[in-house]
Amino acid sequence: MTLLTLDRISVTRRDRAVLRDITLSVGAGELVGVIGPNGAGKTTLLRTALGLVAHEGHSSLAALPEPARARAAAWLPQTREIAWPVSVETLVGLGRLPHLGPGRRMGAADRVAVDHALDALGLGPLRPRTATRLSGGEQARVLIARALAQDTPLLLADEPIAGLDPEHQIATMTVFATLAAEGRGVIVSLHDLGLAVRHCTRLLVLDHGRLVADGPPREVLTPDLVARVFRVSAHFADTPQGPVFQPLEVLPCPPSP
């Protein structure tokens, strides 16, 4: 089942093309990593898909009325600001808002979704804590849990594992992989290519606003593409513990034309 379709999406900001003619679709069961150098357009792509950025072309999500969009896709933005000193449990419960009618309180199904999200992110012990008094990484996990509690077919997350320690980076990617295996779609932007390779079923590579590769990690991250787009050399190995990708050295800049 297709959860998101982008058709010829282009975005121009201050007379500069930030996204150029991007067409793709994402289906149930996919954990899609959006990768590319700084400024390549990853955040803009996710925000445009959600209808948060003026664009040319068509996004199936952006075309939905707002309440339906909030039930179709959860969004975890890159900026992780928690404004109110509420408990972790309350904050994660806010993820249920799109499912509640006006003035309606949470019911049993909502509480199950909140419990499930807290468990998935290992946040049980932090449940009663004031969210604004948690560490940066703990706050990031709480916000991921809020997105999970929204319980949508599609989850879009902008650099969700930035700032997490290795245990929680791997655990969070595992949660996303499990969601995908259960039949949801997950799209995450990432800078950690090693984790992208290990966990994502598919990688989208952006470079200067263009989609320059789209496919399984092994097929996408060729030495040539890694050198051209990321300007590094890398080692890619298949091991009994799964694929291992390690960037090695910065490559010299090509001579200017």
Ligand X SMILES: Nc1ncnc2c1ncn2[C@@H]1O[C@H](COP(=O)(O)OP(=O)(O)OP(=O)(O)O)[C@@H](O)[C@H]1O
Q: Name which of 133, 114, 132 is nearest 124 in CA terms.
A: 114
CB of 36 to ligand X, least distance (A): 5
- For the four alpha carbons of 95, 74, 145 and 110, in that order, the dihedral sign comes to positive
Of residues 35, 42, 75, 187, which one binds ligand X by CB under 6 A?
42
For ligand X, the closer CB: 153 or 163: 163
Is position 33 an interface residue for ligand X (rule: CB under 6 A)?
Answer: no
Nearer to ligand X, 18 or 187 (CB): 18
Q: State yes or no: residue 139 binds ligand X (CB under 6 A).
A: no
Strand partners, 7: 58
CA dihedral 39, 43, 49, 51 (to 10 degrees): -110
DSSP classification of residue 131: G
Do residues 11 and 19 lie in contact, with contact meaning Cβ atoms separated by under 8 Å?
yes
3-state secondary structure of 159: coil
Q: Identify which range of 12-20, 91-99, 115-123, 164-172 contacts ligand X by CB under 6 A.
A: 12-20
Query: What's the CA gap between 198 and 170, in Å, rounded?
Result: 10
- Residues 234, 246: contact at Cβ < 8 Å? yes
Residue whose token pair is 């799109």: 98
36 or 98: whose CB is closer to ligand X? Answer: 36
CB of 44 to ligand X, least distance (A): 3
- Write down the least CB distance from residue 74 to ligand X, Å: 19
Q: Does 80 bind ligand X (CB under 6 A)?
A: no
Residue closer to ligand X (CB basis): 39 or 216: 39
| Residue 36 touching ligand X (CB under 6 A) | yes
Q: Does 48 bind ligand X (CB under 6 A)?
A: no
Could you list the residues that contact ligand X (CB under 6 A)?
13-14, 18, 36, 38-44
